[in-house]
Structure 1
Amino acid sequence: MFEPFRYEFFVRGLLAATLVGGLCGLIGVYIVLRRMAYIGHGLSHAIFGGAVVSYVMSFNFFAGASIWGFLSAILITLTTRKRKIGADAAIGIITTASFALGIAIISRYKTFTRSFDAALFGNILGVTAGDLLAIAVVAAATGAILFLGYKQFLFATFDPEVARYYGVPTGWVETVFSLVLAATVVVSMQVLGVTMIAAAIVIPPIVARLLTDSFRVMVLLSSALGAFCGLGGIYLSYYVDVSSGATVVLFSAALFVLVLAYTSLKGRLSAAERRLSRGDALPQETSSTFE
């Protein structure tokens, strides 16, 4: 049971996955409530292009991917403000073009194709102390930003039109949120991979939403569930010998199925109890009317 903890690479990967899971769960609440689940998927694919370019230019991975991700996030935000272009169309164009650029460069320089398996699917073997520090910094910064701007983010999430009317700078709020999301995707790539990040962002808040109607509880619960899924997924990946990103997502999906089944069964039992209580009360009411 404790065998994996003897290896330093596993401990680093476990810590990284736990932090990434909690971070994705935290920011995912705002994405799910905005009904913009596709932006996590799209932005992760966009950043892949920047990661490839930074590799080819022998540039620092985090610096190159971050710059590319921030530019993509700002471009998506600006494009979605155009009434003639929907958010889904803007994300589709920008992210697909960026991902295609990365694939084109990989196919051109085939000597390093295998180096991007981790970027696509995640690999805890590649997590370094520097990666862990970057994840911790982004997680702390994200938590601080969302905490300090709690009311603004909350208002802009549920009703941006009314928020704008009351003086909330929704444009800046959306831009800052997009940058935070881009930073989250960048630091998550090594653990989850490009193809799995979107699921890690979306599943924990959806599970939390099934369990509570309170926004504050949902934020805390989603972060905790994300961290739990990251920890559990990485632990299982050691034994099943499957990529870390895929295992984390499958673990999260299994949790979603269990919670969905639990809440559905609970709802049916509650409905049955209400029907029985009404059925028991009916004869008493009927008999009293004839007395």
Structure 2
Amino acid sequence: MNTVVDFLTGPWDHVFMRRAFLVAAMSGIVAGVVGTHVVLRGMAFIGDAVAHSVFPGVAVAFVLHADLVVGGAIAGLATAFAVAVFSQNRRLSEDSVIGVFFAGAFGLGIVVLSSAPGYSGSLESFLFGQILGISDGDVRQVAVVGAVLLIATLAVHKELVAVTLDRESARAAGLPVFALDLVLYALVTVTVVISLQAVGNVLVLALLITPATCARLLTDRIGVMMLLAPTIGAGSSVVGLYLSYEFDLAAGGLIVLVSTGVFILVWLFAPRHGLWARTRLRLRHRTAPADKPLPAPAG
């Protein structure tokens, strides 16, 4: 019993762990809410592209000895704006435009970074996360920016859903489709940037996409999905961080592995859309008795 209590309460004895839990939970909540719209739009690739497009901004910030997060945010927003503009050409798929700017931004980052000797160690926290080394100021920053993101997402929720369901109908109804695309890209970019401290650039896509994908399998209602995704995201982040403390393993990697484990369980056992439920439904249809023929009409 004492072992269980120590496992559950031990991390809270350390100030740096309390800060880490707060940032992990807040990042999971924000990423879950914004990720819901990303999954509904089928835009998983944009999360990966934005995560990598912040790289040149981080590289420039490192060379200039400026704030890496601010540099990454500027580069990510610039790339997101470029994707929104160029993808308005209907002959180009959104994924194609994202791929072009994702590769270009990452290449620019490599070129800029190659001009600065001795950079690898300094950027390790950016690539793999530094959740155990965050400060009180980082916690406040994530809290404030996260609250603004949630308010902004809720403010344009109906409009984003309308564009997701039918872009042409939304445009005919007078909605500013291009502006809403920009808003969504900006929301994704800032979400990615504030989540970098939790899981790093390499793994941030999982925090944005996996919880929302789990929620998509669990419900057909967007409102419920908006509640489930942040719950799964925050829960996975906290559990992964606990396991990281207990077994002395990489926090970002365990957060992602926990969320991936949740996805596998949901994929197997979701009440309506899981593999087990669909298999039972198919078996039921196969074993159901055939309909009796109707009696012939009299006369």
SS in 1 for 2:228: helix
Q: CA deviation at 1:252?
A: 0.8
Q: CA deviation at 1:140?
A: 1.2
Matched, 1:32 2:43: no
1:89-121 Cα shifts (integer Å, max 9, x gaps) = 222222222222333344442323112111111
Q: Distance in 2 between matches of 1:193 and 1:104?
A: 21
Q: Distance in 2 between matches of 1:126 and 1:60?
A: 16
Give 1:242's aligned residue: 249
Structure 2: gaps (5+ residues): 1-6
Give 2:221's aligned residue: 214
Give 1:268's aligned residue: 279
**Pick aligned residue for 1:104 from 84, 107, 111:** 111
Contact 1:119/1:189, CA 8 A, preserved across alignment: yes
Q: Distance in 1 between matches of 2:14 and 2:111?
A: 37
Q: Distance in 1 between matches of 2:247 and 2:45?
A: 29
Q: CA deviation at 1:155?
A: 0.2
Q: CA deviation at 1:264?
A: 1.1
1:3-152 pair list within 5 angstroms: 3-152=10-159
Q: CA deviation at 1:207?
A: 0.8
Q: TM-score under structure 2 normalisation?
A: 0.89
Q: Distance in 2 between matches of 1:233 and 1:260?
A: 20
Contact 1:200/1:226, CA 8 A, preserved across alignment: yes
Give 1:189's aligned residue: 196
1:30-64 Cα shifts (integer Å, max 9, x gaps) = 11111110000000100022112112112223322
Give 1:169's aligned residue: 176
SS in 2 for 1:115: coil
Q: Distance in 2 between matches of 1:104 and 1:244?
A: 30
- 2:200 partner letter: G
Q: Distance in 1 between matches of 2:96 and 2:182?
A: 18
- 1:7 partner letter: H
The total of aligned residue pairs comes to 285
Q: Greater helix share, 1 or 2? A: 1
Q: Distance in 2 between matches of 1:108 and 1:242?
A: 33
1:186-216 Cα shifts (integer Å, max 9, x gaps) = 1111111111111111111111111111111
Higher relative contact order (CA 8 A, sep 6+): 1
Contact 2:153/2:187, CA 8 A, preserved across alignment: no
**Pick aligned residue for 1:255 from 258, 262, 284:** 262
- 1:266 partner letter: A
Q: CA deviation at 1:275?
A: 4.5
Q: TM-score under structure 1 normalisation?
A: 0.91
Q: CA deviation at 1:67?
A: 1.6
- 2:276 partner letter: L
